[in-house]
Amino acid sequence: MSRAHQLKISVAGVRGVVGEFLTPNLACAFAQAFGTYVGPGPVVVARDTRASGEMLVHAVSCGLLASGCEVIRIGIAPTPTAQIYVADIRAAGGIAVTASHNPAEYNALKLFNGEGLFFNQYERAELLDVYHQSEFRHALNEEMRRVVIDAETAPERHFARILRHVDVERIRRRRFRVALDGVNGAGSVMSVRFLRDVLGCELHAIHVDPEKPFPRDPEPRAEVLTELSELVVRVRADAGFAQDPDGDRLAVAGETGRVLDNDDVLALAVDCALRKKKGPVVVNLTTSSAIDDIAVRHGCPVHRAPVGEANVVERMRRVQAVIGGEGGNGGIIFPAVHYCRDSYLGMALLLERLAETGETLNALAAGLPRYWRRSGKLPFEHGRVGQMMQALEAALPGARADRTDGLKLMVDEGWVHVRASNTEPLVRVSAEAKTREEADRLYELAVSLR
Amino acid sequence: MTRPGSTLRISAAGLRGIVGHGLTATHVLDFAAAFATFLEAPGRVVIGRDPRVSSVMMREGVTGALLAAGHEVIDLGIVPTPVIQHAIRRLDAAGGVSIGASHNPAEWNALKFFTRGGSYLSSAQSEELLDIYHLRKFRFARHDGTGRRAEDAGAIDAYLDTLAAEFPMEKLRRFRVLVDCTNGTSGLILRRMIERFGLDLILINEALEGRAFVHEPSTTKKMAELQLAPLVRTVGADAGFLFDIDSDRVAFATEQGEAASEELVQVVIADEMLERGCGRLVLTNVCSTALLEEVAGKHGGKVVRLAVGRQAVIDALAGYRMEQVAVAGEGTGAVMMPQFPYVYDGIAAMLRMLERMERRGGRLSELIADYPPYTILKGKIPVRTRFIPELFDELEQRWPEARRNRQDGLRLDWEDRWVHVRVSQTEPVIRVICEQRDGAPRRLFDEVMDLVRSYSG
């Protein structure tokens, strides 16, 4: 592991390895900076199921109270649920203690404004300045506010918003048989309630114990979801769902147990959403061109944003998008519910579509435009991305270039994209083309360049 | 609100200051992390707080730091400090933290630390803790080794079990007792004592308050005179007591509605314990009343004089066997008894005084009327720190015939009176205390105050 990345304090917040690097002292100071920036007012605090979450919640509460904010603790809750709660109660802001799909030894603070959204890049820079300058608001005893515990209402608020946009009776009537891998994450309890009680599914759930550690790599990719695939086959489920520890990402397995490509899941979701309402679509630069083809079928435009939920959401707000997301990582953003990546909305949309069409997931996926994708990662070295960009552009003369996030080169057959990860010391390489050979060629070309 | 310069004090006694104006969340986290490192994880740590709003902020910080180090945190909620110390013993915990500023005004707060057995830290332990704090080399657990938090709602009842084993509660029911809780933690204990033991306690200012207390939470005679004494006769009580916020100190008034000197708490308890033959030694500081020597002399006991402050008492106690000691404490109404392993405990002090009333069968006013009249005068004056040594020299030269004691500042003794001049540990002032048998030492006190004043500003 690179020395520089065991702790990262950036415009994205604080992320680090718990223990030596991400300490309660740092979390407290950062929370006080946050409270100074958004407060004084109520700030919602949630966490995922990482054991270190408990100590960080207390440290964060301390910093928020010290800045004069009221602390509303909603306990273990998925990130989208926390975001919706912030918006619902019109809080001053929110902090989710979660390192999302990162390994268990990490933890992080995800920060939200009073609307339950990520701050824009300028606000994030401003907040970071407050932290670095230690210009904190220090409340006196008479100005201090309390801690309120609400471990009950957050899931209901989230469900209520989703149910306004899907035909829940239609889903319930089908009594779908569904398999779930909750990764023992923040959604463990809530997802069971959602699928079984709200959507009326016959649920077969694994890893839904919030007291237990993550049973697998927490990022829900096909390679780590074999248990789910086997479960789908064994119980003959109509669909299999897998979440990440904070419930924003969703992976989907079809009725044969095959885990669908995340880009295909997003494409299905985009199709579902555009059937409900026409409008612009926003995805990140690395998302499949299948999205463009779907949007064209509905006569809707597609906008591309740099990678990262905050960037996608920012663009979605600007163009009044009706759906958006990030293909590679299984994030579906449906603004009618909230501007956040939401695995629950994703599950509901897909089940609704199955109910509407009477088709299977594999059949629906088969109807999607067919592309071949390759993606991978290389260890980050200073200067490496720049060299790769230069060499790649020279190797593909005449390609259309997009430099908003690393370099994406578009040729007639497909595209290739090289960029530095925002969260890990990695260089990410993606390529897509109409044929497997062409996708391989573009990918191999990029990773061979040093 | 006035905002004086610096209010933060980090010392052997812990961390103390005005919250948001000197004492910040960063201090809380760092100090708690230092203590968590000092205790050597993983262990069990008991915490409790007073009702101040800022105590919630401090509790969150302390909890976060202790959990991060891998300790198990047992949160007692709002409880008196003696209950925290009792729970540390009962739960065989590695230590504890009391969050609250005791007798300071509402805008203040503090952290007090305890080790195994509920003991205060020795000077050597405090120094080690301070070293860790200053180095900021805190030990934290790995992500899968962080601690868990639990609550223990039974701490007050378990503490009352111990009180019931020591004091004859049945017999104390005959006294009607008025208690001013000053919106602090004593109300929780006393209300439960009424329920469990049927004691006839009338509680005033019982409601816990977080932002402002009904009056300053000090246990001086002046406060008892102002807030407590007038009501004692009105309700026809046999005694009146007044507690500070965390119930470690107590003041009292007689059934006649007269406030007693705060010095007398220690005297009455010393009298009781020495008379019963529980130990021979009375440990007290250099400026507590000379009445202690008279009372000790009566029973063949001995007074050991120490520097001012809890720390001096704690360090001295380490050198004696428990059965040697009758009582230890200070003239502020803070008293420790060996039966409550050397914890400043205002509730136990109150019960001991009631027990003495019961045993002697007299009224409280008669009980203290037995003592020869001593009058104590106290004053404080800000001075320029630079000239303090000269001040002490001049005082010595002014009264060359007096007996000198420079254990802590300067104490001058004559046959029937004494004066003590020292630098405060908590405020930037010089404190003057002067006592005389039979009549107020007004002239001596004024002369000393004038001399000290000539060094101020």
Cα–Cα distance list, B43 to A23, A256, A259, B118 (Å):
19, 50, 45, 14
CB contact under 8 A, A23 and B33: yes
Tokens found for residue B45 = 């740590």
Q: What is the percentage of chain B residues whose pLDDT exceeds 90?
A: 82
Upstream peptide bond of A40 is cis (omega within 30 degrees of 0): yes
**DSSP letter string, A383-428:** THHHHHHHHHHHHSTT-EEE-SSSEEEE-SSEEEEEEE-SSSSEEE
What is the average pLDDT across A423-448? 91
The candidate with the shortest Cα–Cα distance to A182, out of A196, A171, A172, A168, is A196
Q: Which two tokens stand for residue A289?
A: 């061109």
Q: Tell me what pLDDT residue A4 has.
A: 52
The count of other CB atoms within 10 Å of the CB of residue B426 is: 12
CB contact under 8 A, A139 and B52: no
| A141 contact residues in B (CB cutoff 8 A) | 19-20, 52-54, 106-109, 210-211
Tell me if the domain spanning B9-155 has CATH number 3.40.120.10: yes
Phi, psi of B225 (to 5 degrees): -65, -45
Q: What is the distance, to the nearest Å, from the Cα of residue A128 to the centroid of all Cα atoms in its chain?
A: 22
Q: What is the pLDDT of residues B267-326, one digit of tens each?
A: 999 999 999 999 999 999 999 999 999 999 999 999 999 999 888 998 999 899 999 999
Query: For chain A, what percentages of helix, strand and coil (3-state, to nearest 5) are there?
Result: 40, 25, 35
Q: Is A144 helix (H, G, I), strand (E, B) or coil?
A: coil
Could you say which of A27, A63, A140 has the minimum Cβ distance to residue B107? A140
Is the confidence at residue B1, as pLDDT, over 70? no
Q: Which residues of B touch A106 (CB under 8 A)?
A: 143
Nearest Cα residue to B78 out of B195, B207, B238, B256: B207
CA-closest candidate to residue A130, choices A68, A67, A42, A37 = A37
- The mean of the pLDDT values for chain A is 93
pLDDT at A36 over 90: yes
The alpha-carbon gap from B218 to the nearest alpha carbon of chain A, in Å, equals 19
Asked whether the predicted pLDDT for residue A5 surpasses 80, the reply is: no
> Is residue A66 less than 8 Å (CB to CB) from chain B?
yes
pLDDT single digits (tens) B106-155: 999 999 999 999 999 998 999 999 999 999 989 999 999 999 999 999 99
Chain A residues close to B31, C-beta within 8 Å = none
Which entry of A61, A100, A191, A343 is annotated as an active-site residue? A100
| ipTM of predicted complex | 0.89
Strands B176-180 and B200-204, sheet pairing: parallel
Judge whether residue A62 has pLDDT over 50.
yes
Q: How many angstroms from the chain centroid is the CA of residue B121?
A: 15
A55 touches chain B (CB under 8 A): yes
Residue A135 has a CB neighbour count (10 Å cut-off) of 11
Return the pLDDT at B14: 83
Question: Quick one: what percent of chain A has pLDDT higher than 90?
Answer: 83
User: Residues B276, B378: contact at Cβ < 8 Å?
Assistant: no
Residue pLDDT, tens place only, B59-81 = 999 999 999 999 999 999 999 99
Mean pLDDT over B189-196 rounds to: 97
Nearest-neighbour CA in chain B from A109: distance (Å) = 15
CATH 3.40.1000.10 fits B261-371, yes or no: no
User: Is the Cα torsion angle A286, A287, A289, A295 positive or negative in sign?
Assistant: negative
Q: What is the pLDDT of residue B2?
A: 36
Residues of A in contact with B106 (CB under 8 A): 141-142
Contact B141 A19 (CB under 8 A): yes
Q: At which residue do the structure tokens 């701490």 appear?
A: B155
Any CB–CB contact under 8 A between B15 and chain A? no
The domain limits of chain B are 9-155, 174-260, 261-371, 374-453
Is the fold of A3-151 the same as that of A372-448?
no
End-to-end CA distance of chain A: 21
- Say whether A213 and B144 touch across the interface (CB within 8 A): yes
A107 has a chain B CB within 8 A of its CB: yes
Give the mutation candidate from B8, B108, B111, B143 for the A interface (greatest A CB count, under 10 A). B143
pLDDT score recorded for residue A450: 65
More confident position, B341 or A315: A315
DSSP structure string for A18-73: BTTTB-HHHHHHHHHHHHHHH-SSEEEEEE-S-TTHHHHHHHHHHHHHHTT-EEEE
Bond before B42 cis per omega within 30 degrees: yes
CA nearest neighbour of A32 among A132, A141, A146: A132
Q: Which amino acid is at B308?
A: V
Contact A350, A239 (CB under 8 A): yes
**B189 vs A425: which has the higher pLDDT:** B189
The answer to whether the beta carbons of residues B339 and B326 sit under 8 Å apart is no
Backbone φ and ψ of B127, nearest 5°: -65, -40
**CATH of region A372-448:** 3.30.310.50
Distances (CA, A) of A19 to A24, A103, A105, A186, B146: 9, 14, 9, 21, 9
Confidence class for position A443, pLDDT limits 50, 70, 90:
very high
Q: Considering only CB atoms, which chain B residues are within 8 Å of A57? A: 64
Mean pLDDT, residues A270-274? 96
Q: Who's near B444: CB < 8 A, 6+ residues apart?
A: B417, B419, B434, B436
B183 touches chain A (CB under 8 A): no
pLDDT for A229-257, tens place per residue? 999 999 999 999 999 999 999 999 999 99
Q: What is the mean pLDDT of residues A291-295?
A: 96
- Does A430 qualify as catalytic in the annotation? no
pLDDT tier at B27, thresholds 50, 70, 90: very high
Question: Do A54 and B148 make contact, defined as CB atoms within 8 angstroms?
Answer: yes
- Asked if residue B392 has pLDDT above 80, the reply is yes
Assigned CATH class of B174-260? alpha beta
pLDDT tens string A403-416: 999 999 999 989 99
Q: Residue B5 above 70 pLDDT?
A: no
How many DSSP H helices and E strands does chain A contain? 15, 20
Query: So where are chain A's domains?
Result: 3-151, 157-366, 372-448
Same fold: B174-260 with B374-453: no
CB contact under 8 A, B33 and A138: no
Q: Which CATH architecture has domain A3-151?
A: 3-Layer(aba) Sandwich (3.40)
**How close, in Å, is residue A424 to chain B by CA atoms?**
18
Q: Which residue of B56, B210, B211 is in closest CB contact with A147? A: B56
Question: Which comes out higher in pLDDT, residue A328 or B180?
Answer: B180
Domain B374-453 CATH superfamily: Alpha-D-phosphohexomutase, C-terminal domain (3.30.310.50)
Q: What is the pLDDT of residues A147-160, one digit of tens each?
A: 999 989 999 999 99
d(CA B354, CA B163): 13
Question: Closest to B53 (Cβ–Cβ): which among A29, A138, A141?
Answer: A141
Nearest by CB to A144, which of B53, B140, B143? B53
CB count within 10 Å of CB B246 equals 31
CB within 8 Å: A29 and B25: yes
Query: What are φ and ψ of residue A380, in 5° steps?
Result: -75, 135
Is pLDDT of B453 > 90? yes
Among partner residues B18, B68, B212, which is closest to A55 by beta-carbon distance? B68
Q: Which of B26, B60, B104, B135 to mutate to test the interface with A (most CBs of A within 10 A)?
A: B60
Q: Which residues, in sequence order, are CB contacts of A272 under 8 Å at separation 6+?
A: A349, A350, A352, A353
Q: Which residue of A has its CA nearest to B69?
A: A19
CB contact under 8 A, A62 and B57: yes
Query: A157-366 has which CATH code?
Result: 3.40.120.10
Assess whether pLDDT exceeds 90 at residue A63. Answer: yes
B67: contact with A, CB 8 A cutoff: yes
